[in-house]
Structure 1
Amino acid sequence: MQHNKTHDKRVLVIGLGRFGSSLALELVTHGWEVLGMDSNPRLVQAYADSLTHTVVADSTDDEALRQVGAQEFSRAVVAIGTHLEESILTTSLLVDMGVPNIWAKAISRRHGRILQQIGAHHVVLPEHDMGERVAHLVSGRMLDYVEIEEDFALGKTRAPREILGRKLGESGIRATHGITVVCIKRHGEQFTYATAETVPQKGDIIIVAGKTDRVERFAELT
């Protein structure tokens, strides 16, 4: 059966450990069809009733991947973390099959670089990223923090005193601090996009974007 890949809502998730199973279950709740694959029969059985399809198979075996139709998916996630050789070989096989969107879990930056070099389109370092995020929350004044790229981040913080009661366009915040206020939230209201005419008030929560060090320094102003 042919699928329109633009609107294809099927995902192959290889590896049903903590990361892979959480990802697969979340995708199902968002209306995606998920084929969960693992070489461990116990894990496959545990999620057989929760995922759209499950299969016990060795993802390092080219023929096994083809039998489950891996080459027909437009999206695949390699969620194998602890076995580097299996992770790398599985990713390489998916690349060779021409799967156009491959996400691969890495347990270190070195592992991640290897995955990128062999053709993974997206590399995820969940433990590293979460540790970095929590470290920023514990050590600073940010309410939330997400690193978009290696040196660019979004930070959620309270509006500092120096920008209160003035239009953002007149505050010189970008020139002074090298960040941009993207969104703003008043007490009891939802987040809205910030504009040059936005006037932050005491107690407002803002989301700022910029170089990681600039975002960190700006959050300290609060």
Structure 2
Amino acid sequence: MQRNRPHDKRVLVIGLGRFGSSLALELVAHGWEVLGVDSNARLVQAYAESLTHTVIADSTDDEALRQLGAQEFSRAVVAIGTHLEESILTTSLLVDMGVPDIWAKAISRRHGRILQQIGAHHVVLPEHDMGERVAHLVSGRMLDYVEIEQNFALGKTRAPREIIGRKLGETRIRSQHGITVVCIKRHGEQFTYATAETVPQKGDIVIVAGKTDDVEKFAELS
């Protein structure tokens, strides 16, 4: 298998716990070929029929990874979370093998920094990120919230009264609130891109983009 092929849809997922298995199953559902690896025979057996391939192996063993062909994958996910030493060593071995796109799960920011320092290309903190997202939803009036990067977010909320019945281009919403309406959705319809000519109606759902504080303040208007 050659790496860096534009249509290569094979991925190595190491660690089949809750995070790794959910990710692997979602990838398979989207047409990816997934090799799932775990040292726990029970987990490997549980997903043997759902994933493309599953293997019982110690991912901290360089020779075991090479026998699996880990060095031939263009993408790999290290979904080991609770065992920091195994997570770090596995990631390090994949880096040494030259895998070009490595995603690694971290259970803390400190763990994440170590993974980045040894060469992981992407670090995810699922528990922290989900907790942060839910906190924004619980404490405000947003229907959904995604932080794109530090201090910039997308928020899903109901169109506030002050923009209902008016063309977005006439509301001066960006200068007054510091946000941009990206998409809009009417009841029973799908989301469509918003333009300066778009006229929000009562009950419409909008997706807005801007600084996190501005997005939260705008959602409070609804």
On whether the aligned pair clears a TM of 0.5, the verdict is yes
**Segment drifting more, 204-213 vs 115-124:** 115-124
The one-character-per-residue Cα deviations of 1:12-71 (angstroms, maximum 9, x if unpaired) are 000000100111111111111000001111111111111111111111111111110011
* Aligned-pair CA distance for 1:3: 6.0
Contact 2:44/2:56 (8 A) holds in 1: yes
Which residue does 1:213 correspond to in 2?
Answer: 213
Contact 2:39/2:56 (8 A) holds in 1: yes
Gaps of 5+ in 1: none
* Aligned-pair CA distance for 1:150: 2.1
Identity of aligned residues (%): 91
Which residue does 2:48 correspond to in 1?
Answer: 48
Helix, strand or coil at the partner of 1:187:
coil
Structure 1 stretches of 4+ moved >6 Å: none
**Segment drifting more, 146-155 vs 9-18:** 146-155
* Aligned-pair CA distance for 1:4: 6.2
* Aligned-pair CA distance for 1:111: 1.2
Contact 2:92/2:119 (8 A) holds in 1: yes
Helix, strand or coil at the partner of 2:175:
helix
Question: Aligned pairs, how many?
Answer: 222
Helix, strand or coil at the partner of 2:197:
coil
The one-character-per-residue Cα deviations of 1:83-125 (angstroms, maximum 9, x if unpaired) are 1111111111111111111111111112112211221111111
* Aligned-pair CA distance for 1:153: 0.9
Q: Distance in 2 between matches of 1:143 and 1:78?
A: 31
Contact 2:169/2:197 (8 A) holds in 1: yes
Contact 2:4/2:74 (8 A) holds in 1: no
Q: Distance in 2 between matches of 1:73 and 1:93?
A: 13
Contact 2:3/2:74 (8 A) holds in 1: no
The one-character-per-residue Cα deviations of 1:142-171 (angstroms, maximum 9, x if unpaired) are 001111112211100001111112211221
CA-based RMSD of the aligned residues comes to 1.2
* Aligned-pair CA distance for 1:184: 0.1
TM-score scaled by structure 1? 0.96
Contact 2:107/2:125 (8 A) holds in 1: yes
- Listed as ranges, the matches of 1:194-213 within 5 Å are 194-213=194-213
Helix, strand or coil at the partner of 1:60:
coil
The one-character-per-residue Cα deviations of 1:181-216 (angstroms, maximum 9, x if unpaired) are 110001111100011111111111000111111111
